[in-house]
Amino acid sequence: MYGDYEAQRHWMEITYNLPIKNWYVNSTFNDLQYWGLDYPPLTAYHSWFCGFIAYKINPDWVRLKTSQGYESSDHKRFMRYTVLAADLLIYFPAAYAFCSIFYKKYSKLSQISIFFSLLLQPGLILIDHGHFQYNCISLGLALWAVVLVIENNDVLGSVMFCLALNYKQMELYHALPFFSFLLGKALKEISWFKIFYKIFCLGITVIITFAICWLPFLLDVQLASQVLHRLFPFARGLYEDKVANVWCSLSIFVKLKNLFSQSTLLAICGSSTLFLLLPSNIMLAFCPSSKSFLLSLVNSSLVFFLFSFQVHEKSILLAALPASLLISFQPVQTTWFLFVACFSMTPLLEKDGLLLAYIPCMMIFLFANFSFHEDFKKDNTSKYMFILSISSGIFLHFSSHTINPPPKYPDIFPLLISIFSCGHFLLYLIYNYYLQYQEFRYDLSLSKKMS
C-alpha cells in the first residue's frame, strides 16, 4: 500500500479532514485496514499540523479519499522538509545539550566530535529521511528527558519523557530505567517527607501531562479504549518480517506460533522480558548514577527488542539512541553495535530502495568515528573483532545479492542477517550488563566509604 511514505501522508489526510473523534475509528472515510493511525495522540496532532501546512501549499496532497497513493517530487520534498524540521527543532538541540552537559569536562572539540557521532547515526538517518518515520521527535524528546533528569530537573524531565511516550508507544522500552532512576534519586532524600513529596510531585506531573495529551479522547470511554486498542495490536503476531530478535531466530528451529496460543506467547514474552529487565533496574534504583542510567537504558531497550512481543525491525533505534550516548566511553563497541543495528535493517532498507543511500551513510559514520575517537587506535583486540564482524556482514550482504536462495528457503538470507545481528545484540547486552554491574559495585563501595 505504497509503503510508510503513504502511511505518514495518509495520517495527515485523515487528521486534517476528519474530527478528532473519528481519527482512530473505522468508517467510510477512515478505513483502518488502509494505514489506520496506530500511534498515540501526539503523533496524530503532529500529523494534523503537517496536514494543515500541506493543504495550504497544495490541497491535492491531503484531499480526503482521492489523495490516496498520491506521490510527486514536490510532495516528497515537502515530506523530507517536515522530517528535517523535526530534526532541527527537537533532536539536534537535544543531542548538543547532552554533549555539553554530560561531557562538560571534555574539551569543546571532543564535545563537537561526540555531537557529530550522534547526528551521523546511519540507522536513524535512513529510517527517518528515507522511510518517513519521525523517530527524531520521540527520540529527541526522550533525549531531552535524559538531559534534564541528569541535571536534576526531574519534573521537566518527566514531562519530556511523557511527551515522548505520547508520541510513540515504543518509548516504553525506556520507561523502566526512567522510573528506577527517578525513584532511586527520590529515595536518597534526607527525610521520609521529602521522599514522599518528590514521588508525589513526579506522579502528579505524569498524570497531568498524560491528561493534557489525551484530553479530547478522555471525554468518551469507548473512544479512549479504541485508541488503546490501536496502540497495542497484539493480534498482529509475535514479530514483524525478519526482525533480528530471539523469537525470530528461534523460529528457524521451533515454530512457536504453532506450539502456543497467542495468550501463552504473550505471557512467555512478558515474563522473560520482565525477568531480564529487573536486575538492571534494581541496580539503578539502589545506585542512581548518570552512567548507570545510560547503561540501564541500553539494557532495557535491548531486552525489549530481543524478547518482547510484536517487535518491528525499526525498534532497534530505541537501543541505538542510549548506546550512541556512551560512544566516548566505549567508542569501538558502540560503533560496532550501531553498525550492526543498521545492518540488521538491510532487508527493510532494500525493500524501500535505500541501499544506494545505505552504503555512503555507513561509510561516513565509520570514517567519522575512526577519525574522532583516539581509542580506535589503542583497543586492538576489539578493533580486529570489529573488522572481522564488518567483513562477515559485508560478505553475507554480498552473497544475498549474488547467490540465488534455494527454492525451499526463499527467505534464507534475510533470516541469516537476522540471526547474525541477533547474536551481536545478545553479546552487546551481556557486555553492557557487565559494565552496569561494575558501575554498581563501584557506586556501592563509594557510598559505603562516605557513610
The whole-number pLDDT of residue 377 equals 62
How many helices (H) and strands (E) are present in the chain, helices listed first?
Answer: 21, 0
Q: Which three cell numbers stand for residue 215?
A: 484530553
Residue 288 neighbours by CB under 8 Å, 6+ apart: 180, 181, 184, 185, 188
Query: Which regions of the chain are under pLDDT 70?
Result: 1, 372-379, 450-451
CA distance linking residue 264 with residue 242, whole number of Å: 21
| The predicted structure's pLDDT at residue 232 | 86
Report yes or no on whether pTM surpasses 0.75.
yes
Amino acid in position 426? L
Q: What is the pLDDT of residue 156?
A: 97
DSSP secondary structure letters along 127-161 = HHHHH---HHHHHHHHHHHHHHHHTT-HHHHHHHH
Grid cell listed for 147? 538531559
244, 417 contact by CB (below 8 A): yes
CA nearest neighbour of 431 among 280, 281, 307, 290: 280
Q: Mean pLDDT over all residues of the chain?
A: 91
pLDDT computed for residue 387 by the predictor: 86
Instruction: Provide the pLDDT for residue 261.
Output: 85
Q: What's 163's DSSP letter?
A: H
Neighbours of 359 (CB within 10 A): 12
Q: pLDDT of 227-268, one tens digit each?
A: 999 998 777 777 777 889 999 888 888 888 888 888 888 899
H-only helix segments in 255-354:
256-259, 262-286, 290-307, 317-325, 331-343, 346-351
- Grid cell 490516496 — which residue? 68
The CB density around residue 107, as the number of other CB atoms within 10 Å, is 9
How far apart CA 75 and CA 77 sit, in angstroms, is: 5
pLDDT at 107: 85
Q: Is the CB of residue 82 less than 8 Å from the CB of residue 62?
A: no
